[in-house]
Amino acid sequence: MKNAWDNVVFTCSVMQIFLSEIDIDNWCKRHNFPKGDIQPIENIWNFARIWYGNHLQQDWKKWTNEQAKSIFEKFNLTHNIWDIPQTDSRF
Give 30-62 as a DSSP string.
HHT--------HHHHHHHHHHHSTTTTSTT--P
**What was the pLDDT predicted at 8?**
78
For range 40-51, the mean pLDDT: 95
Domain boundaries, the chain: 4-82
Q: Is the pLDDT of residue 79 over 80?
A: yes
Give me the chain's average pLDDT, please: 89
Q: What percent of the chain has pLDDT over 90?
A: 60
Q: Is 18 helix (H, G, I), strand (E, B) or coil?
A: coil
Q: Which of 43-57, 58-72, 75-89 has the lowest mean pLDDT?
A: 75-89
